[in-house]
Amino acid sequence: MAANIPELFGSKVFNDAEMKKRLPKDVYRAFLKTIDEGVPLSRDLANVLSHAMKDWAMEQGATHFTHWFQPMTGITAEKHDAFLSPEPGGSVLMTFSGKELIKGEPDASSFPSGGLRATFEARGYTAWDPTSYAFVKDDTLCIPTAFCSYSGESLDKKTPLLRSMQALEKQTLRILRLFGDDTVRHATPMVGSEQEYFLVDEDLYKKRPDLIYTGRTLFGSKPPKGQEMDDHYFGSLKPRVSAFMKELEEELWKLGIAAKTRHNEVAPGQFELAPVFSTTNISTDHNQLTMEMMKRVASRHHMVCLLHEKPFAGVNGSGKHNNWSISTDAGDNLFQPSSTPSRNAQFLLFLTAVITAVDEYQDLLRLAIASAGNDHRLGANEAPPAIMSIFLGDELMDVVDSIIHNTDYQDKERTYLSIGADVLPNIRKDSTDRNRTSPIAFTGNKFEFRSVGSSASIAGCNIVINTIVADALSTFASRLEDADNFQIALDALIREELTKHQRILFNGNGYSDEWVKEAARRGLSNLPSTVEALPHFVTDKVFSLFARHQVYNRTEIVAHYEILLENYYKTIHIEAMTLADMVEKEILFASSRYQDILANVVLHKKALDLSADLERARLEHANSLSSEIAKELYSLKEKLSAVESETDSLTAARFYRKEIVPCMDIMRTQIDELESFLPSELWPYPTYKALLFSLEGEPRK
Ligand code: ADP
Ligand code: MG
């Protein structure tokens, strides 16, 4: 039966409608005021709220509550407490106090803090973010929270994200005031994040320790068919996949997540889900929930959802496209080109701010999407390169050119574009015309940041985008506020900034080698891997940027940097250990078995006076492949033990990148050759052929 979307939607969420229904009018109004003004919730208000929330949650079958938060690792964390409190006489009351709603004190000692907790307080606390609704998941009331140390340092992704949204709002309002808008009170960055993922059959998955421990295949020879026919993209959905998607969407709708678009992606077994955009912090929460639900629902269908950026070599990896814009409480999208000249001047100023910001902070943006997983994807022919650039499309590029050169704007009717006097040409929003090779594409009324990895929290990149754009707007505002003649100053500012930062604009093919060379000529930064990117986080320029906008203090940045480095090399460490184990326990053994069979055939044939040249040649090949693999394995192990005692994270990360990764790459080539050479029945693992084309057949539940 088809789902009743309006009935399902938000049914597991304590949303505005539910609050309105259940709270006394004055409490409800006081709550809205609190949110609007961004002031802390009073204890009295919290008590009434928590009571209503508990009653609602219990009607949804909840027995527990949890402060749901996003530690710096990028996943979500929860610790469940039952609502119960014992009564004298052996009975229990179901309780949930305002205090429990507002603040939690999880034993946070095992969350990564990059040394923060040692420096400050041993414990951390979680605090409700009332701008994101509470919801029921798994019979538990989940309260979206921020996670801080007792001295107030953020230990999570939500806190800096909320701060960056505030910073952007503040600077945006300054600009809007300059354009004479005295009524707008809020300006909010909006995000829609498209999520790519793979599905594989659960039985096959369980036979691949590399998938289990690392989320990706560490080897696997190319299947006879990959994505070269382009027959999977937008193709019809297989019944197993379709059943999964339907159930996933229903689960997401219940949680108030507006899952809207679903389709096959380019690689076999790869798919995409896109929700309708929302405010950045809600989108971030929703994306975390979406990833969790994808995994959960997949397992109900005897499949596993792979969110790794590059689960399979040789076919496309997975990303997450972060569509970003700014909306005001008057309902305007500030990146919507308009038909009135004054609005256009404003649009051009906001556009210029993004161009300035991206050019000025290329490295920061690059490192915001850096991870061991994304290193396999960026620049790998199906994802944007590690070089940041902006695609504007032909129409806007012409506009920018005419502004820079102060030349005639070549439109049919008019010949000269004057900012704030002329209207802009029609900016096409046609998706077929889009440049899909650009890391940052202006797509008509928003920017699509395509470099984000599929497993990453979108908080990371949005903290950076919000802050760097806030910074550009702040510089612009200061200059314009001081100007004698706003119109003249605005004109000059836009022209100057576009001229200075035009090198970041690129409409061509971002996947081409020519672009890499051209970008170098333009002086654009190219940081090929996480290790090269991360040190750009801990520079004076970045410290002062985040301090200026009160998003991160220096200590938080250093802590975050440490965690990112650690994450990086620990990920590679686990991969190397997994590979070593698979080689030692299964792969070399499989080769020996084959050699044993071949040796026997050679002996028997010899006894019968038959030629055994073929078997002998195969035997020698298997033998030499095995020795090569074994040699590389020992070298890998030596390197792993050499780096074990390294205490400096950056040195360790560099070593993993320079020594361990190439060693694993060599082994991969050797193993792939062995796999393609060994009889199928002797190969101990499901092949790419099986894994990538495993979703045939009827839905299983
Ligand atoms: P495509 O794959 O063609 O880029 P999709 O429809 O898959 O497009 O995804 C586009 C995403 O952009 C959706 O999540 C959509 O809600 C979001 N989006 C649309 N308008 C805006 C906007 N103004 N600000 C932020 N996100 C937006
Ligand atoms: Mg899409």
Report how far apart, in Å, the C-alpha atoms of 62 and of each of 135, 140, 275, 278 are: 10, 5, 26, 27
Among 194, 280, 428, 461, which is best to mutate for testing ligand 1, by the most ligand atoms less than 8 A from CB? 194
Question: What's the gap in Å between 226 CA and the centre of ligand 2?
Answer: 21
pLDDT at 418: 63
Instruction: For residue 275, give the ligand 1 atom closest to its CA.
Output: 14
Question: What's the gap in Å between 526 CA and the centre of ligand 2?
Answer: 27
Instruction: Look up residue 692 and give its two tokens.
Output: 């990538």
User: Residue type for 5, please?
Assistant: I
Whether residue 412 is predicted with pLDDT greater than 70 in this model: the reply is no
pLDDT at 131: 87
Question: What's the gap in Å between 10 CA and the centre of ligand 1?
Answer: 21
Give per-residue pLDDT as tens, 459-501.
Answer: 999 999 999 999 999 999 999 999 999 999 999 999 999 999 9
Instruction: For residue 272, give the ligand 1 atom closest to its CA.
Output: 7
pLDDT at 380: 66
The bound ligand whose nearest atom lies closest to the alpha carbon of 333 is: 1
The bound ligand whose nearest atom lies closest to the alpha carbon of 325 is: 1
Give per-residue pLDDT as tens, 646-672.
Answer: 999 999 999 999 999 999 999 999 999
The bound ligand whose nearest atom lies closest to the alpha carbon of 261 is: 1
Give per-residue pLDDT as tens, 535-564.
Answer: 999 999 999 999 999 999 999 999 999 999
For residues 149 and 367, give the distance between their C-alpha atoms in angstroms, rounded to a whole number. 25
Whether residue 185 is predicted with pLDDT greater than 70 in this model: the reply is yes
Question: What's the gap in Å between 326 CA and the centre of ligand 1?
Answer: 13
Burial 557-571 (b: 16+ CB within 10 A, else e): bbbbbbbbbbbbbbb
Strand segments, DSSP code E, in 307-406 are 320-328, 390-391
Gap between the terminal Cα atoms of the chain:
17
Residues at CB less than 6 angstroms from ligand 1: 190-192, 194, 261, 274-277, 321, 323-325, 333, 431, 445-446, 448
pLDDT at 307: 97
pLDDT at 116: 64
pLDDT at 416: 46
Question: What's the gap in Å between 194 CA and the centre of ligand 2?
Answer: 6
Give per-residue pLDDT as tens, 75-87.
Answer: 788 888 899 888 8
Burial 155-183 (b: 16+ CB within 10 A, else e): bbbbbbbbbbbbbbbbbbbbbbebbeeee
Instruction: For residue 443, give the ligand 1 atom closest to its CA.
Output: 4
User: Residue type for 639, please?
Assistant: K
pLDDT at 276: 98
Instruction: For residue 333, give the ligand 1 atom closest to its CA.
Output: 23
Question: What's the gap in Å between 522 CA and the centre of ligand 2?
Answer: 31
Residue nearest to atom 2 of ligand 1 (CA): 194
Mean pLDDT for the stretch of residues 351-365: 98
Give per-residue pLDDT as tens, 287-328.
Answer: 999 999 999 999 999 999 999 999 999 999 999 999 999 999
The bound ligand whose nearest atom lies closest to the alpha carbon of 448 is: 1
Burial class (CB in 10 A: 0-12, 13-18, 19+), 666: middle
Q: What is the mean pLDDT of the chain?
A: 91
For residues 169 and 327, give the distance between their C-alpha atoms in angstroms, rounded to a whole number. 10
Computed over its alpha carbons, how large is the radius of gyration of the chain? 28
Residue nearest to atom 13 of ligand 1 (CA): 192
Confidence of residue 432 (pLDDT cuts 50, 70, 90): very low
Q: Which segment of 140-149, 381-390, 469-478 scores lowest on mean pLDDT?
A: 381-390
Instruction: Give the global pTM.
Output: 0.94
Whether residue 595 is predicted with pLDDT greater than 60 in this model: the reply is yes
Instruction: For residue 324, give the ligand 1 atom closest to its CA.
Output: 25
Q: Where does residue 314 fall: left (phi above 0), alpha (psi -120 to 50 degrees), or beta otherwise? A: left
User: What percent of the chain has pLDDT above 90?
Assistant: 72
The bound ligand whose nearest atom lies closest to the alpha carbon of 265 is: 2
pLDDT at 678: 96
For residues 228 and 44, give the distance between their C-alpha atoms in angstroms, rounded to a whole number. 63
Instruction: For residue 335, give the ligand 1 atom closest to its CA.
Output: 23
Question: What's the gap in Å between 320 CA and the centre of ligand 2?
Answer: 9
Instruction: For residue 325, give the ligand 1 atom closest to its CA.
Output: 24
Question: What's the gap in Å between 272 CA and the centre of ligand 2?
Answer: 7
Q: Which segment of 98-107, 160-169, 252-261, 275-284 scores lowest on mean pLDDT?
A: 98-107
Instruction: For residue 276, give the ligand 1 atom closest to its CA.
Output: 16
Among 266, 277, 452, which is best to mutate for testing ligand 1, by the most ligand atoms less than 8 A from CB? 277
The bound ligand whose nearest atom lies closest to the alpha carbon of 443 is: 1
